[in-house]
A and B are shown apart, each in its own frame.
Chain A
């Protein structure tokens, strides 16, 4: 079974430029999460989707961040414009709603460096 797929794995951009990250969850997983992870810290939730609906985006900085999951499968997270402080690893995860534990499966992440 394929895991959560993310691309690109690494991205270096200059500040004020836009950037987009893509995630394809595990087949059949209807819940998708985007997390931000700074060095030496745990992941912090940015947005959670149930199918195509964003059910929790309270931690998403909406002035510069946006996300979509149009067909309820893969998802894109965008930053425009990027700031130096956005340098971090962006993790995507998916889970099966109704599962006993809501275990989340993580992708390898996109490491963003803003210069």
Chain B
């Protein structure tokens, strides 16, 4: 079956760095996505990885290792507004269909 695992919650201090890990087992692979979701709001796209390596986009970076079935999202210089749920999602062998993890709730403290 398909399985996507990520930690339930992480807490970090404003200005610090947090790394959210995601491991997956899926039928086929056509890319891995990270979404941010604030409470009561829609998920918003953060990053997409389909090849191994690191993709950097401002304060956020995402890494993928296809052979290990592993990705992480790195949030640098944390701000209070980064407090949200971060969803890892994999597009398996069905093009366009995303399988989401349960999300990691990041709490940023002053």
Interface residues of A, Cβ cutoff 8 Å to B: 4, 31, 40-45, 48, 56, 91, 95, 97, 101-109
Contacts and interface: CB of A to CB of B under 8 A. Distances in A.
Contact of A109 (B42, B50, B103): B42
B87 A42 contact: yes
B103 A41 contact: yes
Contact of B44 (A41, A43, A106): A106
Interface size class of B (residues with CB under 8 A): 20 to 34
B89 A42 contact: yes
Contacts, number: 50
B88 to A, nearest CB: 8
A108 B40 CA distance: 8
13 contacts: A40-B102, A42-B87, A42-B102, A42-B103, A48-B97, A56-B94, A56-B97, A91-B43, A101-B31, A101-B48, A106-B35, A106-B43, A109-B42
Contacts of B103: 40-42
Contacts of B33: 101, 103
Contacts of B94: 56
